[in-house]
Chain A
Amino acid sequence: GENVEQHPSTLSVQEGDSAVIKCTYSDSASNYFPWYKQELGKGPQLIIDIRSNVGEKKDQRIAVTLNKTAKHFSLHITETQPEDSAVYFCAAPPSGSRLTFGEGTQLTVNP
């Protein structure tokens, strides 16, 4: 089945700095890569996703890049703010099956 590895497990940045979280996947047939944000005590919420026909997608301060050759994709958050503090999960669907999630990254933005 699909194996999704996410790094780092924890990330601490100063407000205004950038944060980058990286995920690698194993199934070359995967073609949809979402990122979820989970705030304390809440369910995960989709923040951005990318499909395999594009290499990068941007939405204000958030961007995702995809390298299909290397089988990795990354979440980039610029000009981080304290409200960005949360756990972030990447996911990838193995062929013909449900989403497999990474282990999560606890992002802390220090004011």
Chain B
Amino acid sequence: GAGVSQSPSNKVTEKGKDVELRCDPISGHTALYWYRQRLGQGLEFLIYFQGNSAPDKSGLPSDRFSAERTGESVSTLTIQRTQQEDSAVYLCASSLTWGFGNTIYFGEGSWLTVV
């Protein structure tokens, strides 16, 4: 596609439920990133993929968070047993390859509200 596509754009879920957030990167981009942004805050790194592998999972805040990527394309971020502090915008981004100087393109984000 023309840009990074994320779905759903908005999600309201009850505390304790699981949610899945989907990201379609720009076609041909091998690197894919997930960031979290709480209201009025900066960008918090969660995880990145090079191809289907995730060399850096250090940003995942707890074992309730997991992510996978298949076919060097679509990625899914899963949050289990959601908590109110999980409420945030989850931003996906992609770049042609991983490494210095590669422009990172962001999607519009998935706005998650846990009630």
**Chain B binds chain A:** yes
Interface residues of A (CB under 8 A from B): 31-32, 34, 36, 41-46, 49, 51, 89, 93, 97-104
- Of the candidates A32, A43, A93, which one forms a contact with B107 in the assembled complex, judged by CB atoms under 8 Å apart? A43
Tell me the bound Cα distance from A42 to B91 in angstroms.
Answer: 10
Could you tell me if B109 and A98 are in contact, using CB atoms closer than 8 angstroms?
A: no
A32 B100 Cβ-Cβ under 8 A: yes
CB neighbours of B101 from chain A (8 A): 31-32, 51
Contact between A45 and B106, CB atoms less than 8 A apart: yes
Question: B12-46: which have CB < 8 Å to A?
Answer: 33, 35, 41-43, 45
Supposing A44-B91, A98-B48 touch, asked if A89 and B42 sit within 8 A by C-beta, the answer is yes
For the complex, would chain B's binding face be called helix, strand, loop or mixed by DSSP majority?
A: loop
Question: B residues engaging A (CB < 8 A)?
Answer: 4, 33, 35, 41-43, 45, 48, 56, 91, 93, 98, 100-101, 103-109
Q: Give B35's nearest chain A residue, CB to CB.
A: A101
Q: Chain A binding site: helix, strand, loop or mixed by DSSP?
A: loop
Which residues of A are found within 8 Å of B4, using beta-carbon distances? 43
Given contacts A43-B108, A43-B109, A44-B106, contact A101 B43 (CB under 8 A): yes
Task: Report, nearest first, the 7 A-B pairs whose CB atoms are least far apart.
Answer: A43-B106, A101-B43, A103-B42, A32-B101, A43-B108, A44-B106, A32-B100
For A99, the chain B residues whose CB sits under 8 A away are: 45, 104
Determine if B42 and A101 form an interchain contact, defined as CB atoms under 8 angstroms apart: yes
Give Cα distance in the complex from A46 to B93, angstroms.
12
Chain A residues within 8 Å of B45, by CB: 98-100
**Contact between B43 and A44 (Cβ–Cβ < 8 Å)?**
yes
B103 touches A98 (CB 8 A): no
B100 touches A89 (CB 8 A): no
Q: How far is the CB of A27 from chain B (nearest CB, A)?
A: 12
Residues of chain A within 8 A (CB-CB) of B33 are 98
A104 pairs with B42, CB closer than 8 A: yes
Contacts of A104 in B (CB 8 A): 41-43
